[in-house]
Chains A and B, each alone.
Chain A
Amino acid sequence: MSDVSDQTAAETGRHQAGASWRFLKNHMREYGILFALIAIMAFFQVATGGILLKPVNLTNLVLQNSYIVIMAIGMLLVIVAGHIDLSVGSVLGFIGALAAVMIVNWDMHYLVAGVLCLIVGALIGAAQGFWVAYFRIPSFIVTLAGMLVFKGLTLWLLAGQSVGPFPPQFQLMSSGFLPDLLAMDGFNLMSFLIGLTVAAGLTLLALRNRAVQSRTGTPEEPFAFFAAKVAIIFIGISWMSWLMADFRGLPNVFIVMALLIAVYSFVTSRTTVGRRLYAIGGNEKAAALSGINAKRLTFLTFANMGMLAALAGLVFAARLNTATPKAGAGFELDVIAAVFIGGASMAGGVGTVVGAVIGAFIMGVMNNGMSILGIGIDYQQVIKGLVLLAAVIFDVMNKKKG
């Protein structure tokens, strides 16, 4: 009796494993990027002798990449809509300079200045989006012009000098940590609990979705695969928050980032606006003939990008504690690379927020890891370039196969 049940158990196990493997192969495009991140982290963890995931370094990694991640979210929407924004690096620098002038030179309250900066960012994005959406000027050209204009305006605003320092409250935005209300010595328990809550919440959400799927039809993912995926995400998030709690807790900017990821992920995957955005990127003519106001949506996408670039500008300025004329130079390339590594398509209509964020962290981990290993900036550029190329080749090959 027990022999038979053992056998069937073994058989289901094999069956589950086989199904999971096949599923993974068919969905390599979606999950490949996550595995790439894990593999790259594992590699550098070993290569750096465990430094990569030391609490202090992990915290640094998040702080260093926050502004890239924030902009990658906006850029994902722009690229899904079938456009590009080359001006984000310059806009980041310009907004940092604007904030410095307002706060340091004019003694404006940092909150008022911050809100004004976000508004100016949105207006900059809107001004560029206006030409792209309503006059069909290629976004590459419009934002290339914007890149030059705002680089120049940054220099003008700062009169070629660095301006700083900022008041301490302003700096907290990117160098502050979540206060520990549970006051434990050397361990930010609250941060860990928040991490645990988020991990548990995500798990519950996944379980609920799975239950709904089971009720309406057969779930797409084999059970073993589903279980493994949920477990990895749960353990991953809990572990990361444990590590960060062990240093000084969750950075404020991490909370901002997490909220943005959650909100934009939801908007792109679950709302009508998101659905329409993918439709205009996939086939603008068909979308327009389905009653979608493609022009307005494109316009708003650029305005949103401008606002997120402004937010990134504030974070970056607060982190350096000064606004410099060189701030943001070349950032647009990192941001765009992150989005493409994350699986977005140059032609528009394809890509996810989470993919773009993972793409940004792949770049970030490589920067960080290679710096720890003392690899020169020259080789770093070459390697990053090759990784970008490899990621996109992988994506294209997978698409052809599917």
Chain B
Amino acid sequence: MATILEMRDITKTFPGVKALDRVNLQVAEGEIHALVGENGAGKSTLMKVLSGVYPHGSYTGDIVYDGEVQAFGSIRDSESRGIIIIHQELALIPLLSVAENIFLGNERARGGIIDWQETERRAAELLARVGLKESPKSIVADLGLGKQQLIEIAKALSKDVRLLILDEPTSSLNEQDSEKLLVLLTEFRRQGVTSILISHKLNEISRVADTITVLRDGATVARLDCKNGISEDDIIRDMVGRSLDDRYPPRTPDIRDEVAMEVRNWTVRHPVDPDRTVVRDVSFHVKRGEVLGIAGLMGAGRTELAMSLFGRSYGRDITGSVTINGKPADLSTVRKAINAGLAYATEDRKTYGLVLDDTIRRNVPLARLESVADGMVVNARREAEVAERFRQRLNIRSSSIEQETVNLSGGNQQKVVLSKWLFADPDILILDEPCRGIDVGAKFEIYTVIRDLAAAGKAIIVISSEMPELLGISDRLYVMNEGRFVGEMQTAEASQEKIMARIIKSGEAA
């Protein structure tokens, strides 16, 4: 088979981070090529390089497509050569019709006037090709996620796709829709369309893929041929196979025999779509002085669990009970949750964590403003002292406490968020992806803070998609998948293989 795409020695750096380090990818014409790796391994970055989101010149290495070296300057360039990428977050306009979406930016028009008959006729053809029985006039928002995914594919087909890239296409689909999609991919293979499939669902990959490329830490670590069958265990080993070196501060756990928080039968439904259960019957506990990890893939329901606990900031029809320090706790509003001794540091610091236009001084005391105020009046001196104290304690690199947080780097923004919650002085601190998108040095500093807090008798819950991180800093961990806790293990006995196996087994059982 001819090679349609070869990416040679692709290296892409962001300030302070090497996202891709001499990555190689070879895709044969007409195959389904799977790209796997942990979150942060560089899969999406590689695809953005390929599709021109990161234009030629912002990376080093060559992209050879169709036998020629390409220099894509934008998505438009790559699309004109038949390379179409479908992102995990679908890019459809919800209130437009199916046909309008399919031809968005590529309208069937003459002299700027849309030919609706042609548009609908062509749309109907494309819908038939992807096996979707819907009128081209239906409004996209009225259709389920599975159907929306198919519309994205129809849109790709309308642009005469030759290389179709799907980023986690089945992560938000149910079993039936996923199955349909996979069948469609094999149908495309018969028609000669090449696909690159990015997925965490190894059972799906081992079924449909012809070749698998495994990425780890921004480098290609394996290229597996699936002709003779391949086991999921092999893929997992390549995905996670690395040693835990001393990227974590040394620590002797001092776990008190007091349960700080216990959650029983916690169930949360989706805020907009009450038929979807996002967190299903979750029970767990955490002790004082303990660092508890919650592992799982993106979309497992971990953030939703944490935010629903923290003042019901997510979801509806929440049921279940919580006790804190042995007493039933009322967590019905954020204020009550804070007063009960709970704190939640968000995974999305820009949207949920910081008032970006405000200074460090004004952000740090926000969750417990009354303790820097005399009555109603904020005491500027005490406020500044508090901010300065945390700036030094967490080593927030900034010109002064008067710097606006929007101008800080990710790691330092994260430290401001942490400062805010440390100042609120909680007994139980939930940290959601505390080290996402920050550099190694800042990570170490944050791990050190977590360690010190645990040593001081706080209960820490760390949610992370990076398994090495959880194995490096937690004492005990739960595995979450599709809204349920599917495993509990002592970290000493845990391994990435075991965690992955739990996730995959539970996915197959469902």
Contact = CB atoms under 8 A, between A and B. Distances in A.
Given A289-B334, A292-B366, A275 B378 contact: yes
A289 B369 contact: no
B369 A272 contact: yes
Interface in A206-226: 212, 216-217, 220
Count chain A CB atoms within 10 A of each CB in B334, B344, B370, B384 and give the residue with the most: B334
Contacts of B313: 288-289
Nearest to B344: A289
Contact of B355 (A220, A287, A291): A287
A273 B334 contact: no
Interface stretch (B17-25, B130-138, B148-156, B346-354): B346-354
Nearest to B372: A272
B346 A283 contact: no
B303 to A, nearest CB: 12
A165 interface: no
Interface in B354-369: 354-358, 362, 366-367, 369
B352 A286 contact: yes
Interface in B454-499: none
Nearest to B384: A216
B33 interface: no
A400 to B, nearest CB: 13
A293 B338 CA distance: 13
B376 A271 contact: yes
B310 interface: yes
Contacts of A271: 373, 376-378
Count chain A CB atoms within 10 A of each CB in B313, B346, B377 and give the residue with the most: B377
A5 interface: no
Contacts of A290: 334, 366-367, 420
A5 B284 CA distance: 75
Contacts of B337: 291
Interface in B103-120: none
Contacts of B402: 220
A270 B377 CA distance: 6
Nearest to B381: A216
B355 A286 contact: yes
Interface string B159-200: 000000000000000000000000000000000000000000
B247 interface: no
A275 B358 CA distance: 10
Count chain B CB atoms within 10 A of each CB in A212, A273, A282, A289 and give the residue with the most: A289
Interface string B296-330: 00000000000000110100000000000000000
A288 B334 contact: yes
Contacts of A278: 355, 358, 362
Contact of A275 (B344, B356, B357, B369): B369
Interface residues of B, number: 33
A276 B337 CA distance: 18
A282 B405 CA distance: 12
Interface in A252-296: 270-276, 278-279, 282-283, 285-293
Given A216-B381, A220-B402, A282 B358 contact: yes
A273 B378 CA distance: 9
B335 A291 contact: yes
A293 B337 CA distance: 13
Count chain A CB atoms within 10 A of each CB in B310, B353, B358, B420 and give the residue with the most: B358
A350 interface: yes
B357 A349 contact: yes
Nearest to B370: A272
B275 to A, nearest CB: 23
Contacts of A291: 311, 333-335, 337-338, 367
Count chain B CB atoms within 10 A of each CB in A274, A286, A292 and give the residue with the most: A286
A378 to B, nearest CB: 38
B451 to A, nearest CB: 25
Nearest to B345: A289
Contacts of A349: 355, 357-358
Contacts of B352: 285-286, 289
B351 A285 contact: yes
A276 B369 contact: yes
A130 to B, nearest CB: 19
B288 to A, nearest CB: 23
Contacts of B354: 283, 286
Contacts of A276: 369
Interface in A351-377: none
Given A273-B376, A279-B366, A293-B335, A212 B358 contact: no
Contacts of B311: 289, 291
A272 B367 CA distance: 11
Contacts of A216: 381, 384-385
Count chain B CB atoms within 10 A of each CB in A276, A278, A282, A350 and give the residue with the most: A282
A291 B420 CA distance: 12
Contact of A272 (B378, B381, B385): B378
A216 B400 CA distance: 13
Contacts of B356: 282-283
Given A272-B378, A288-B313, A282 B373 contact: no
A278 B357 CA distance: 10
B379 to A, nearest CB: 9
A259 to B, nearest CB: 18
Contacts of B376: 271-273
Contacts of A283: 351, 354-356
B463 to A, nearest CB: 15
Nearest to A273: B376
A184 B357 CA distance: 52
A289 B362 contact: no
B334 A282 contact: no
Nearest to A220: B402
Contacts of B346: 289
A288 B352 CA distance: 9
Interface string A190-214: 0000000000000000000000100
Count chain A CB atoms within 10 A of each CB in B310, B355, B373, B378 and give the residue with the most: B355
Given A216-B384, A279-B358, A291-B338, A270 B351 contact: no
Nearest to A283: B355
Count chain B CB atoms within 10 A of each CB in A217, A275, A287, A293 and give the residue with the most: A275
Interface of B: 310-311, 313, 333-335, 337-338, 344, 346, 351-358, 362, 366-367, 369-370, 373, 376-378, 380-381, 384-385, 402, 420
Given A217-B384, A282-B356, 16 more contacts: A212-B380, A212-B381, A271-B376, A272-B370, A275-B369, A278-B355, A278-B358, A282-B355, A283-B351, A283-B355, A285-B352, A286-B353, A291-B334, A291-B335, A291-B337, A349-B357
9 contacts: A216-B384, A270-B378, A272-B376, A278-B355, A282-B357, A286-B355, A287-B355, A291-B367, A349-B355
Q: Which 7 A-B pairs have the closest CB atoms?
A: A282-B355, A290-B367, A291-B335, A291-B334, A290-B366, A291-B338, A283-B355
